Amino acid sequence: MHILLTGASGLLGRAILKELKNAAEFSVVGTAFSRAKGDLYKVDLTDPPALQSCLADVNPDFIVHAAAERHPDTCRNDPDGTQLLNVEVTRRIAQWCAACSRSMLYLSTDYVFDGVNPPYAPGDAPHPLNVYGKSKLEGEENVKDLAPESLILRVPVLYGHVETLDESPVTKLARRVMTRRQLTYDNWAQRYPTHVADVASVIRQILFRRAHGDMRGVYHWAHAEAYTKFGMAQSIARILGVDLDLVLPDNNPAPGAPRPQNSQLDCSDLLSSGIRADTLFEAGIASAIKPFV
């Protein structure tokens, strides 16, 4: 299977690219724009002629669409840019898939849910609270309407081997803990931090099943360990040998774009099919921040 991967220079994209390149059953071309280097195909996905040229040049059998604006506060402050990348680009890719009899896997988010009644199964009704969640839900709807044979994979907050600590909201906590100052951390929202290498492994397993079977529709993948940012910061402090008295809880909702309090994803569909990849949080975050210590 010849695959085009969008967003291949991002945190998740790098992990997917590595996973698929190491799988004999796939060939993969990764795209990037501002961080394009090496053998990545440089393309501005928001430029329709450039996107069409890329699709024609690569002519993939399947597209994994990971490129997105994923920071809720950035989305709130730039709704037009968010609409362009998260919705319009997705629509154009889905249209190409429909016209060329191809399919895609679209990466979405647990933020399509409002966090009121977790855990959420793939068929539960979405109700996003912020611009980011709404844009990803619109992207999902474009994929379902235009390329109905495709796949949608919703994932939660991600972390992994970052280029800078600020690349993930999880590793960004390490920068604060490393100051060894007494600081507060959100203790209101339950999160399920998931390693990008595990998401990449799950995607490889899904694509293998798809190539040899009949997987389609919406799926969920997330780790089962629940943490608030306060809990994550405590784990990071223990790893770094920082006094836990410097890590204080804030039990109020975080400022900025509204977030769901608990958007836990029900992953039983994938688990029941034998698909899994589970890096425990403390081991995963220790490895991720080690280069910065």
Q: How confident is the model at residue 212 (pLDDT cuts 50, 70, 90)?
A: confident
> Quick check: 36 pLDDT over 90?
no
What CATH number did the domain enclosing 43 receive? 3.40.50.720
Q: How many CB atoms neighbour CB 78 within 10 A? A: 15
pLDDT tens digits for range 45-93: 999 999 999 999 999 999 999 999 999 999 999 999 999 999 999 999 9
> Quick check: 164 pLDDT over 90?
yes
Q: What is the mean pLDDT of residues 178-189?
A: 97
Residue type for 219, please? Y
Range of 76's domain?
Answer: 2-159+195-223+266-278
| Percentage helix, strand, coil for the chain under 3-state DSSP, each rounded to 5 | 45, 15, 40
Q: Cα–Cα–Cα angle for 274, 279, 282, nearest 5°?
A: 155
pLDDT score recorded for residue 62: 96
DSSP-based three-state secondary structure for 17: helix
Number of domains in the chain: 1
- Percent of the chain having pLDDT more than 90? 94
Q: How far apart are CA 97 and CA 66, in angstroms?
A: 16
Domain presence at residue 245: no
* Torsion angle (degrees, nearest 10) of CA 252, 254, 259, 261: -30
Domain presence at residue 179: no
Domain presence at residue 131: yes
Q: How confident is the model at residue 254 (pLDDT cuts 50, 70, 90)?
A: confident
Q: How confident is the model at residue 37 (pLDDT cuts 50, 70, 90)?
A: confident
DSSP-based three-state secondary structure for 275: coil
Domain presence at residue 53: yes
Q: What is the mean pLDDT of residues 192-210?
A: 97
Domain presence at residue 125: yes
Q: How confident is the model at residue 255 (pLDDT cuts 50, 70, 90)?
A: confident
Q: What is the mean pLDDT of residues 81-108?
A: 97
CA distances (Å), 110 to each of 136, 137, 262, in order? 10, 10, 9
Spatial contact of 166 and 139, defined as CB atoms under 8 Å apart: no
- Percent of the chain having pLDDT more than 70? 100
For the chain, what is the mean pLDDT? 96
Domain presence at residue 8: yes
Residue type for 284, please? G
What region does 241 belong to: left with phi over 0, alpha with psi -120 to 50, or beta?
left
pTM across the whole model: 0.95
DSSP-based three-state secondary structure for 86: helix
pLDDT score recorded for residue 199: 98
E-strand ranges in 70-215 read 103-109, 151-155, 158-159, 183-186, 194-195
Domain presence at residue 189: no
Q: How many CB atoms neighbour CB 150 within 10 A? A: 25
DSSP-based three-state secondary structure for 260: coil
The 8 Å CB, 24+ separation contacts for 232-238 are 232/170, 232/173, 232/185, 232/191, 232/193, 232/281, 232/285, 233/173, 233/176, 233/177, 233/185, 235/281, 235/282, 235/285, 236/173, 236/174, 236/177, 236/285, 236/289, 237/177, 238/282
Residue 285 CA neighbour count, 13 Å, CB half: 29
> Quick check: 231 pLDDT over 90?
yes
Domain presence at residue 174: no
Q: How confident is the model at residue 35 (pLDDT cuts 50, 70, 90)?
A: confident
